[in-house]
Structure 1
Amino acid sequence: MAGSLSRRVVLGVYALLIIVPLLVVLTGSFKTSKELFDSPMGLPSSLSPKNYSAVLTDASMATAFVNSAVVTVTAVVLTLAVGSLAAYGLARIPGWKGALVYGFLVLGMAVPAQSNMIPQYVLFQSLGLLDSRIGLVLIEIVATLPVAVFIMTGFMRTLPKELFEAGSIDGAGPWRTYRSIALPVSMPSLAATAIFLFVIQWNDLLYPLLFIHDPAKVTLPLALLNFQGEFLTNYPLLFTGVIVASTPLVVTYVFLQRYFVAGMTAGSVKG
């Protein structure tokens, strides 16, 4: 009884830590700067959409939204393609060899991104990939591929070997087995991985800040910095930009939520 009450208290506190800042941002997006500073926790005097109109009609924000969409969608699709191929191969390599390759790939999650920035910048500069959407896509794939391999390998290792053996008996080669058997049954894992990748890559500020200098190629997180000045920050517009930037994440989760729990739990136990 005491343990159950303690868990409820902890969960209640955790919920407040999430809900209160969210409400401040949501209500603040309808306020003026004066209203926000006078009453940060209070309700706005009116539900005027002027902040949303200012953000949505801002040409730089529209350009940043398109850049983020192009870079994120391309990077997510390519990361899923490469990661699923790697996971399929690792799941079928028996013994210590598969474990060694898997450990090498997943080790990338333990390496801080900041430790690689200087050599990555020098490399991209020598290849002419700075201020390039292609370069940004490539670095996002490299940075998030270990996460994709980690999630999808855990799932594919739970798939019955009989599935692959049946494909071999029917004359299917490795590529046909991967395309016709492994991918269809791995849709929950792919959807869960896609959500993680989309959140990470859509919200990434570090790599765009390092590799992108052309205003026409900035992404949304980078564009939101324009609302912060040296001496004054327009917090209502900043809050509005955050909500607008977060909307695609919410929509993506709503459409893929039925796969999310299944994808994250399917690889946790051996089937």
Structure 2
Amino acid sequence: MTASLSATRSRRNRARPARGAAATFRYTVLIVGALVMVTPFIYMLSTSFQAQAYVLTFPPQFIPNPATTANYSRALTTENFLLYFANSLVVAVVSTAVSVLVSSMMAFAFARFDFRGKELIFRVLLTGLTIPAVMLLIPQFVLATKLHLLDSLGGLIVFYIAGSLSLNTFLLRGFLASVPHELDQAMQVDGANAWTRYWRLALPLAKPALATATIFTFLNSWDEYPIALTMINNPNTRTLPLAIATFQGQNATQWGLVFAASLIAIIPVIVVFLVFQRYFVQGLTSGAVKG
């Protein structure tokens, strides 16, 4: 017995350095990866507080000296920046709300009802995830021209909603399919119709998946550039990505101004993520493995 215990302790002692080395290597890789990811953002933040004359200095200054807030003042007062910010906010909020509502209804139908061609319709819907968005620019422009949706925020909202329905329905269907059917049956016994079961049962239980869909849809609508560039010519209906692009001149780019405007544009995305992040990981994993 004593010999066996000694052998076990010896193996454990030999294993500890190996585990320690593996842990050290793992943490080193994670730290290096984190630095690679964070460094561009830190440089962007630093540049936004620098005058144009100090932007392209080498080596780059991560602590601005001298620091100035002039770029932020110019960004907020130049080229109707606040109007473009409001335009983007309206487009993103309306697109997100309508897309999440419609896709949750579709997901509830796919997860809870049996009807002819259900799987075929769902697979056709998912083909939207396989088509690159760039390939749809010309058809979308032609369709917008026929429907008189050019140069309007409503036109952007329509196409943003259409572009997000596939992913949102996929995520929400997977989550709703995991809800026990016994809950539906219990509500049916009490006389609840399909709308009541959707509104009072499915939506409250699907908060994690709804939060995930909300974050994805808001981010895509807020940052979208190619569709807006194709369909918007009127300066009064520009969105924020188009406004930031105007800060890049033909001969020189005012990087401090561009970075300051970009950091301002990040604020709503951070707010949305902070509000819904507690449900984000749970909703994402549930939608990915169910259905």
Q: 1:112 aligned to 2:135? A: no
Question: Shift in Å at residue 54 of structure 1?
Answer: 1.1
Structure 1 pair 206/3, CA: closer, same or farther in 2 (3 Å)?
Answer: farther
Q: Which runs of 5+ in 1 are unaligned?
A: none
Q: Which moved more, 1:252-261 or 1:200-209?
A: 252-261
Count of residues in Structure 1 that have an aligned counterpart in Structure 2: 271
Of 30, 34, 56, which residue of structure 2 is paired with 1:37? 56
Of 170, 185, 192, which residue of structure 1 is paired with 2:190? 170
Question: Shift in Å at residue 184 of structure 1?
Answer: 1.1
Corresponding residue for residue 44 of structure 2: 25
* TM-score where L is the length of structure 2: 0.88
Q: Which moved more, 1:89-98 or 1:188-197?
A: 89-98
Structure 1 pair 270/232, CA: closer, same or farther in 2 (3 Å)?
Answer: closer
Do 1:90 and 1:101's aligned partners in 2 also have CA atoms closer than 8 Å? no
Corresponding residue for residue 8 of structure 2: none
Q: Which runs of 5+ in 2 are unaligned?
A: 1-18
Of 29, 37, 45, which residue of structure 2 is paired with 1:10? 29
* TM-score where L is the length of structure 1: 0.94
Q: State the alpha-carbon separation in 2 of the partners of residues 119 and 241 from structure 1.
A: 31
SS in 2 for 1:248: helix
Identity across aligned pairs (percent)? 36
Q: State the alpha-carbon separation in 2 of the partners of residues 35 and 180 from structure 1.
A: 58
Matches within 5 A, 1:47-62: 47-62=67-82
Do 2:170 and 2:287's aligned partners in 1 also have CA atoms closer than 8 Å? no
Structure having the higher Rg:
2
Of 151, 157, 166, which residue of structure 1 is paired with 2:177? 157
Matches within 5 A, 1:138-157: 138-157=158-177
Do 2:92 and 2:222's aligned partners in 1 also have CA atoms closer than 8 Å? yes
**RMSD of equivalent CA atoms:** 1.9
Question: Shift in Å at residue 234 of structure 1?
Answer: 0.1
Over residues 43-92 of structure 1, what are the superposed CA-to-partner deviations in whole Å (9 max), with x where a residue is unaligned?
A: 11133211111111235211110100000100000000110001000102
Q: State the alpha-carbon separation in 1 of the partners of residues 116 and 28 from structure 2.
A: 45
Q: State the alpha-carbon separation in 2 of the partners of residues 164 and 243 from structure 1.
A: 46
Question: Shift in Å at residue 114 of structure 1?
Answer: 1.5
Corresponding residue for residue 106 of structure 2: 86
Q: State the alpha-carbon separation in 2 of the partners of residues 267 and 195 from structure 1.
A: 14
Question: Shift in Å at residue 162 of structure 1?
Answer: 0.8
Corresponding residue for residue 213 of structure 2: 193
Code of the aligned partner of 1:58: T
Do 2:111 and 2:177's aligned partners in 1 also have CA atoms closer than 8 Å? yes
